[in-house]
Structure 1
Amino acid sequence: MQNRAVDQEILALAIPAFLALVAEPLFLLADAAIIGHLGTVPLAALGVAGAVITTVVGLCVFLAYGTTADVARKLGAGDRAGALASGMDGVWLAVAIGVPVTLVGVLTAEWWIDLFGASAEVSGPAADYLRIAFLGTTPLLLVLAATGVLRGLQDTRTPLVAAVAGNLLNIAANLALVHGTGPLPRLGLTGSAWGTVLAQTLMAAGLLAVLAHATRRAGVNLRPRTGGVRSAGRAGIPLLIRTLTLRAALLVTTYSVVSFDDSTTLAAHQLAFTIWTFLAFVLDAVAIAAQALTGRALGSGDVARTRALTQRMITWGIWSGLVTGAALAASSPVIGRLFTNDDAVVSALASALLVAALAQPAAGVVFVLDGVLIGAGDGRYLAWGGLAVFVSYAPFALWADSLVWVWLAFGAIFMGGRLVVLLHRARGEAWMLIGATRASS
């Protein structure tokens, strides 16, 4: 296998995927920038409500990952019609999850807000925003599922176009509905919620139109297949558990920092985590390419190509981590000035970022191998491995007594533990099951 040809395949998938990943957080950033001019209370309400929505939707990321693996396998096996049929199973699963979540969310919006213990001044507007925002849950899940289908078909450009168009529409709709334009009334905070729901709905409609066209051309029926939807749901459970272990680890990390009862340390940690998350988009873009390429290679029955792809992906992960780590270390003394003028926060942030920089090469390999095993449909191993790493990491995170020690535990125990678990699996052959589906092998 020519490395240059493989690199071109990786870049063709990873670059649009990275740009689409970066575009996703811009929804809340745009909302925050617009709402921020209304005052502190609306901005605080947006922060609380946004945390609920992002958590609910984040737990359903398996709709994208599981669909990518299944579609890519069937594509590799030469069964494009079967790939699209499996993709539509994932789309209908998104509907099956999204509709009840929307109903429950709308009815329990105040309860979710009360969990945060926000003041009455903030909780009322936050509940109003959240009640409307939950109406966008099904469109958001449809976007995840449709994006997974397109990635499995080796297309990361269409989701990028949808993400950019959705963000532009979100900004326009928010400006019009928040402040009022022409015949449109000034709705304030709730206008932002309606504008975002509108943008999310149109994004979903655009992606579904692309899929419907491809599905009809392949002669695939668009109606739901009960067995296929049920199968997609079963395949998603291990990936859901994997996601829960990741989010639990992040919550434990933040809880440990909060327990210090020091606003300077908490502010520095929040900034460090924000920067780490942004750099994760770079590494996750390569992981998305790994999902699509691994699934296709295994579907075609080419074990040698799968192994060669994995080795090349690991090389990409190492170099990506070295580059992001070097950039993080070099900028650590000054990057804090972009966010705050507090010298104590800048100093604490610099120390945390230096530790985070050391973990970047390991993180690069972890993200890539995570993508490879997701692409192989090895969700059960990822779920059990994730649980084992979380149980090992949590005591160290809770024992840490400073920000530097928290980040050392995160880098060495959590990321290091995931690295060991994933490398152990990747070196074996149990995950390399060939054929259109894992079960058929």
Structure 2
Amino acid sequence: MTRAPSIPALAAPALVVLAAEPLYLLVDTAVVGNLGTVALGGLAVGGGLLAWAAALLNFLAYGTTARAARRAGAGDRAGAVAEGVQATWLALALGLAVLAGFQLLAGPLTRLLAGGAGPVAAAGETWLRVASLGAPLLLVSLAGNGWLRGVQELRRPMRYVLAGSLVSLVLCPLLVHAVGWGLPGSAVANVAGQAVSAALFLRALLREGGAWRPRPAALRVQLVIGRDLLVRSAVLQVSFLVATGVVARAGTAELGAHQVAIQLFFFLALVLDAYAIAAQTLVGQALGGGRPDDARATARRVARWGLGTGVLVAALLLALRPVVPPLFTDDPAVVAQAGLAWWFLAGMQPLAGVVFALDGVLMGAGDVGYLRTVTVGSVLVGFVPLSLLAVPLGWGVAGVWAGLTLFIALRLVAVVVRVSGDRWVSVGVGG
């Protein structure tokens, strides 16, 4: 029997894929920033809308990974590839819907996000109309990531995503400044990079052979998984918006500190989420191959990796507390408020490490309905109530971050209880 890859061996390339887009966006922001505040604001508005759509539809990667892994674990590579084919059809359909929606509503949406008509809203609309042409390509890449992860081929997605990011990195400064296209040049560079990545994922799928006809039954099953993950993502997005709105009412310094801390939270979540992807692949293959004991063993191992990494990250955050916040701002009030959030940010990392890892275990097992319910419940019981109480009680940043910490703690209890039992263990390839 071929030995399964280790968790770090699967997590490392997954981390590169997860980090590629945020790192490119940092470069894109720096390039556009030289055009002035209007262009930078337009990029923030348009880019935020496109990123929001991509986050909601990320089930094309996560849902496909779980189903493809089960097929691969049962020795049915052709079936795993077929899951990728159906996910690609779904990606194209949803991508065209997103494209049509943004072309029709780019103006109203950017004006809503920018707080009314003006140069920033107009710049965001221009950027979004061009960049949304890449929506079908972006979603095809998500589907490609999904099935390749399912068959334990994580290095190819890494190469494909990096190839697209490199094209965008080269074109962005050239089109924005050298060619003189300004902000639309940034959008064109995005689409070009997405086209390269999508073409590579499609080529990998075509080389596997097999039928390319859409199968409505398979698409319906993927949509059911997608529905649960979409609801989960939407609730998370709304809860973070609520938290930001609450902090904004507490004061400018509090809002600046929250922005610094929450961006670090999102970045660190990428690191820990790499273990979730490894867990999805290994658990899905174990259950698909009728090896529930292997799935349970993977759950224990990935939880230990998540906990250990979380403890390490927490220690680094505490050690760097006097150093990092001043790198983002020289305002003493913002630095002081960031110091309050810092204790919560560091303290939750060991908890988050286990939560994200076990999320991946349950996704790999196809137990996404439970994850949806747990996430919604933790938001409604922990995150949102404490965040809303922060203003009348004068808790400010500390109140919001206490709510976020409680949100993570409630999820931790729920996923540990679930994984400790047997209800998530369902062998076979599923529907």
- When normalised by structure 1's length, the TM-score is 0.93
Separation of aligned partners in 1, 2:23 and 2:313:
21
Would the aligned equivalents of 1:336 and 1:346 in 2 still touch at CA under 8 Å?
A: yes
Would the aligned equivalents of 2:168 and 2:189 in 1 still touch at CA under 8 Å?
A: yes
Give how far 1:212 is off: 1.4
- One-letter amino acid matched to 2:342: L
Would the aligned equivalents of 2:126 and 2:184 in 1 still touch at CA under 8 Å?
A: yes
Q: Secondary structure at the match of 1:104?
A: helix
Give how far 1:337 is off: 2.0
- One-letter amino acid matched to 1:24: E
Deviations 1:146-189 (A, max 9, x none): 101111111111111122211211022112221244xxxx2111
Partner of 1:324: 313
Would the aligned equivalents of 2:175 and 2:189 in 1 still touch at CA under 8 Å?
A: yes
1:428 aligns with 2:421: yes
- One-letter amino acid matched to 1:194: V
4+ residue runs of structure 1 moved beyond 4 angstroms? none
Would the aligned equivalents of 2:247 and 2:400 in 1 still touch at CA under 8 Å?
A: yes
Would the aligned equivalents of 1:91 and 1:142 in 2 still touch at CA under 8 Å?
A: yes
Kindly report which structure 2 residues correspond to 1:160-309, keeping only aligned pairs within 5 A, or say none: 160-181=158-179, 186-213=180-207, 215-216=208-209, 220-260=210-250, 262-309=251-298
> Which of 34, 45, 48 in structure 1 is aligned with 2:45?
48
Partner of 2:376: 387
Deviations 1:77-116 (A, max 9, x none): 1111111111211111111111121112112100111112
Give how far 1:202 is off: 1.4
1:139 aligns with 2:132: no
Give how far 1:119 is off: 4.9
Q: Secondary structure at the match of 1:259?
A: helix
Would the aligned equivalents of 2:313 and 2:349 in 1 still touch at CA under 8 Å?
A: yes
Give how far 1:405 is off: 2.1
Kindly report which structure 2 residues correspond to 1:385-424, keeping only aligned pairs within 5 A, or say none: 385-393=374-382, 394-400=384-390, 401-411=395-405, 413-424=406-417
Separation of aligned partners in 2, 1:118 and 1:427:
51
> Which of 123, 129, 132 in structure 2 is aligned with 1:125?
123
Deviations 1:40-72 (A, max 9, x none): 111111111111010011100111000000000
Deviations 1:339-361 (A, max 9, x none): 11112212221221122111111
Separation of aligned partners in 2, 1:259 and 1:156:
44
Q: Secondary structure at the match of 2:213?
A: coil
Separation of aligned partners in 2, 1:415 and 1:423:
12
> Which of 157, 161, 173 in structure 2 is aligned with 1:159?
157
Separation of aligned partners in 2, 1:118 and 1:126:
12
Greater shift in the superposed pair: 56-65 or 227-236: 227-236
Would the aligned equivalents of 1:333 and 1:346 in 2 still touch at CA under 8 Å?
A: no
Separation of aligned partners in 2, 1:81 and 1:238:
26
Separation of aligned partners in 2, 1:268 and 1:210:
44
- One-letter amino acid matched to 1:275: L
1:71 aligns with 2:65: no
- One-letter amino acid matched to 1:304: D
Partner of 1:110: 107
> Which of 89, 97, 100 in structure 2 is aligned with 1:100?
97
Would the aligned equivalents of 2:164 and 2:195 in 1 still touch at CA under 8 Å?
A: no
Deviations 1:342-396 (A, max 9, x none): 1221222122112211111110110011000001011111111112111102111
- One-letter amino acid matched to 2:402: L
Would the aligned equivalents of 2:386 and 2:402 in 1 still touch at CA under 8 Å?
A: no
- One-letter amino acid matched to 1:134: S
Partner of 2:88: 91
1:351 aligns with 2:340: yes
- Structure 1 residues not aligned, in runs of 5+: none
Partner of 1:368: 357
Separation of aligned partners in 1, 2:386 and 2:230:
24
Q: Secondary structure at the match of 2:348?
A: helix
> Which of 40, 54, 78 in structure 2 is aligned with 1:81?
78
Separation of aligned partners in 2, 1:327 and 1:118:
42
Give how far 1:30 is off: 2.0
CA RMSD of aligned residues (A): 1.5
Q: Secondary structure at the match of 2:423?
A: coil
Give how far 1:255 is off: 1.8
- Structure 2 residues not aligned, in runs of 5+: none
Give how far 1:425 is off: 1.0
Give how far 1:118 is off: 4.4
Separation of aligned partners in 2, 1:371 and 1:281:
13
Would the aligned equivalents of 1:298 and 1:376 in 2 still touch at CA under 8 Å?
A: yes
Separation of aligned partners in 2, 1:312 and 1:171:
37
Would the aligned equivalents of 1:28 and 1:50 in 2 still touch at CA under 8 Å?
A: no
1:60 aligns with 2:60: no
- One-letter amino acid matched to 1:191: G
Q: Percent identity?
A: 42
Give how far 1:226 is off: 2.5
Would the aligned equivalents of 1:67 and 1:86 in 2 still touch at CA under 8 Å?
A: yes
Would the aligned equivalents of 1:59 and 1:243 in 2 still touch at CA under 8 Å?
A: yes
